[in-house]
Amino acid sequence: CSGLATREPARVPAADTWTLEGRIALRLEDEGWHASVVWQQRPGSYRLRLQGPLGQGALELSGSAAGVILERADGRISQARDPDILLYQETGWQLPVSGLRYWVRGRPVPDIGTRSRRDDQGRLVELHQAGWDIRYTDFFQTGALPRRIELVNGEVRVKLIIDQWQHLPAADEADDAS
Amino acid sequence: EPPAVFTAFFDGLRSFRADFTQEVLDRHGDRVQEGSGEVFIQRPGRFRWNYAEPYTQVILGDGRTLWTYDADLEQATRKPQEEVLMGTPAVLLSSVEDPAEVFQIAAVGGEGDIAWVELMPRDADSQFEAIHLGFADGMLRRMILHDSFGQRTDIRFTNAQRNVELDPELFRFDPPPGTDVLGGEH
């Protein structure tokens, strides 16, 4: 379901069952938008809900291997193969959903070109992939999961703050701490 | 003709101020977010929602521009206020247009000391399927927003004051230095 990774990575991330709650801000020249984010990731599918303050402009992206559906608050539904393209076509927002699925976990997208830097604790702090320059500027104490990520791609700037990670008990394992 | 308890509050409403707590429940009824803060309304057309929890956010209508600001993201977006559809709660409280033109308004019974009024947007593709307002002894106590995903935003007002003097500065947006202030056309 990810537009970037052509083949499933050799080591399927065991912990592909998580939920993140946070906020995202996007900037394109002097235009901007920000929203709250709830992202529920399961091994074969995900649901990403974006919502402006006071419940305005809510929309939901639900994706699986078959493709992705975008549903808006007014009930309009649209579909596509790739979430990044669908979101851009429908809203004009350029958000790298396919890549973020890995980047939010502090991991590069597998099997594509990568330049990266890690800090002395082995945490990914800088990553250059798929045209995006990604910096991890804050982490959670436990599990070293990212808390604040800034992404730049040409004129587009994205700031993501993760307020809370949730893992289904069974899925949590040491892998997350890498 | 809107129910008496609705008109008793909205007719002659010039300003409103209250502390609020907010719970957002998804379609399964699970709580996905909690928040709290202070709301100020000055009719016509001005409102300010100060969220203190879970993080600092401001939603401010100064009569011409709608500002939404997130302190941690250091970003604010501005949008012409008239683009904000009448169907949104913030505008409902602050606008002087006749709500009956925008909503079908009906009393839907009481629960304890609260008298509930339901507002159904007449505009089919409004973002909210229904807004429920709860009144008690002439004061607005609850506002529940039902969106088309089945999500509910349940807001409770306390220490509410009606037609109280409000400082006009409250409705002027001046973000801290370093904030990106951007147009929000999307």
Taking CB atoms and an 8 Å cutoff, what residues of chain B touch A90?
none
Q: Which of B57, B60, B149, B173 to mutate to test the interface with A (most CBs of A within 10 A)?
A: B149
For A130-166, how does the pLDDT look when each residue is reduced to its tens digit (9 = 90+)? 999 999 999 998 878 999 999 999 999 999 999 999 8
Q: Do B125 and A27 touch (CB under 8 A)?
A: no
Q: Which of B54, B133, B149, B153 is nearest to B92 (CA)?
A: B133
Lowest mean per-residue pLDDT among A18-22, A49-53, A76-80: A49-53
Taking CB atoms and an 8 Å cutoff, what residues of chain B touch A38?
32
Residue ranges for chain B with pLDDT beneath 50: none
Tokens 């790298």, residue located: A96
Q: Round to whole Å and give the CA distance between B88 and A113.
A: 45
pTM of the model: 0.85
Answer yes or no: are the C-beta atoms of B124 and B134 closer than 8 Å: no
Shortest distance between the Cα of A90 and any Cα of chain B, in A, equals 10
Q: What is the pLDDT of residue A171?
A: 43
Which residues share a beta bridge with B105? Answer: B119
Q: Do A73 and B127 touch (CB under 8 A)?
A: yes
Q: Which residue pairs, CB below 8 angstroms and at least 24 apart, start in B170-175?
A: B170/B40, B170/B42, B170/B48, B171/B40, B171/B42, B171/B46, B171/B47, B171/B48, B171/B60, B171/B61, B171/B62, B171/B63, B172/B62, B173/B58, B173/B60, B173/B62, B173/B65, B173/B67, B173/B69, B173/B76, B173/B78, B175/B69, B175/B76
What is the ipTM, given to two decimal places? Answer: 0.81
Burial class (CB in 10 A: 0-12, 13-18, 19+), A52: buried
